[in-house]
Structure 1
Amino acid sequence: MIVEHLNLVDFRNYATADLTLHRGPNVLVGSNGQGKTNLAEAIVYLATLGSHRVSSDAPMVREGQEFAVIRARLAHGSRIVLAEVQLNRQGANKARINGSPTKPHELPRYAHVVLFAPEDLQIVRGDPSSRRRFADQLLIQRTPRMAGVLADYDRVLRQRTALLKSARARGVRGEGLSTLDVWDDKLVALGSEIIHARIRLASDLQSPLAEAYSAIAGADHGPQLEWALSLRGGDPEEAQEPDADAATDPRGDIEELFRATLQAKRAKEIERGLTLVGPHRDDLILRVRDLPVKGYASHGESWSMALALRLASAELLRAESPAGDPVLILDDVFAELDADRRQRLAAITVGYEQVIVTAAVEADIPEALHRHVVRIHAGTISDDRDGRTDADD
């Protein structure tokens, strides 16, 4: 897939913006705070329905405006797709494909993007929510219908938790809250589908992860990833031990265990006013040298794991997508890497159909990726080829 053109309206610091992109490497250069990462964020949103910087859509709408628009012309071989999303401060977002209204969760069927960013270090060093977000955004790209499943799960989770808080406030005991059974059924059905998809994703990522880690680090430390499931009785927010049998559980067994665990935890959930088990409390455990990355890996090993996760994601999408390669976006990554890792990452990624690199310092970009330079200054986009201005704020 190729992003041929990006148009923004009232997105971040851009009143309007137009960016033409090319096959192969594209370089966006600008000092920090000028708007280059905003362009990358807009492209990523079409593919993942989320931002790598904020957890809600409102911060992406320009100050003083009610909505922002992202439009992109995407080339899938000889086929051209026009994808558009309107991000609203209030109410549901809207989307169009080739001018026809569609649901936003359909957009990832057409936009395939893998982002590398400094924030990726939080995937391996941060709290479990960072790893869940990484996995779920990849799930959406791999199986776009999962966007709806994840959204429905979050809605059911909020409603069930609100009921638990109400019960706690009223002093209701577990056996006196029969209305919870309806929400348990919905939570189990949706949550089991998410758990099953995540376990399958971890299994499918294992081989490309090992290859990518070796290529980036120049060493084979046997990276591994497994899910620690809250429904198995541990607390993955604290524990670092995954369950070795998790990957072999069929979905039916997960549903049965999920339902039984909810019943066993009901009194404690009412006491705390929280839903204590489910995919919202699971953790993806990452290991190198048979040790958890979090707390044990060096800075270099952590960066190698973070980059390997993104490269493995790209390889998985590349192998499965009829649209061709995903677009790779390397957002201010090279400034964080030593010279060795810079060259290795450039050598691996340069072979993709389209690569977009952002950098504050042009000299940080390896020669292999140093092509089609565009400069960003205060929301103004200028092409090095002829000095013309494509957009201004």
Structure 2
Amino acid sequence: MRNCKRLRKATSAVSPAGTGTRRSSPPTRTLPTTVRKPSPTGLSSAANAAPRLKAAQAGISQAEGLARQAGARLNPIVSIESENFSGNGPYKGTQLTETMASVGQTLELGGKRSARINAGRAGVELSRARARQTEGDFAFDLAEAYGAAEVADLRVQLATEALSLAEDDARVAHALVKAGKEADLRSLQAQTAIETARAELGEAQAARDTAFSKLTAIVDSPVAFSSIPDSLLAHADTAETIPVVDPLASPAYLVALAEREEVARRVKVEQTRATPDVTLSLGVRKFQADDAQALVGGVSVPFPVFDRNKGNIAAVSSELIAAEQNLNIARLDAQADIQSASARLKASFARIKSAQDSERTAQEAYRLTRIGYESGKLPLSEVLIARRTLTEARAQALTARQDRLNAEAELAHLAGTTPFGDL
């Protein structure tokens, strides 16, 4: 699959807020390095980057091993028999011993071997479909975690700016109090606003550390990530397009389709087992007393009186019915998820515009309120309200952009493609 945004540490290490420690730079990664164009086995050679991808690759290897074993033929039976030796009377000793060496081969009838081979191949295709689904889930989770880490990082910046604004307002309030133009209460109100902004910054820093920890865990990086050098959120400012997604291309639907095919192949396997096999044998018997040899041949066939494999056939046939219904469920779920994600993506376009307009309005309102307060025309409470409105407007604009990213990532996931693979 196509490469996406870089997931790497910036050149200078960034310390987590409040820890005073520095983090080492993680290796350069792309979003996602481990999710590229699938190889014939369903996963790229970089699949060892995440445990869940390694597990999926192991599932493919297991299915391929079972498929190879399904094509194995039955081994021949070699036997040696001796009789009429070490007895009493005329059979005492080995003079009348008769020895027979023979080779027997069971012939599978009714298409048993070909049915097993087809079932094995269907099992391989199923494991590959599941691996591709796992790969898609991993790509979606990685994109979502990357976006969440970027948003958390920006929220720290917004909280830092909010704290800076609160401190600026407090300096103005202290100056007015010192000049006798405001009551001492205004200084206390301004200081309270600073403490509130400082607490919100601490919460934002904790949320950022949590988001980066999740991102590190998803990519299984030995070194923690602590910064976002490239922006996915910039994609939220691009053209407003809603991709058309075919529900029949959904990884979940394709897995259900492969499951149905695999079960159908197993139905055929169980049906062929009802046909008896034939065992042919050919050997040589040596007569010790006459110093002579003779050929011995035989045919054996089980007589299917008690076991005609009806129970297994009925069981796997019922499993096939369930697989058919699961396929329909997967199709309906894919349709519903696509419609839901498309609706949320469309709604996010309007939300982003509205949130950005509100942010610009709140910015201007805060600027004018601040001028009015400094000139003594407005009380401090108006400044506090305007600043809080600006902070909330900025947060809402960021949330709207994040919602667009998540909706686009989900649609890509449902289409079986890498989220933001064209970036």
| Higher share of residues assigned strand | 1
Q: Do Structure 1 and Structure 2 share a fold, with TM-score over 0.5? A: no
Select the structure of larger CA radius of gyration: 2
Higher relative contact order (CA 8 A, sep 6+): 1
Q: What is the TM-score when the length of structure 2 is the normalising length? A: 0.25
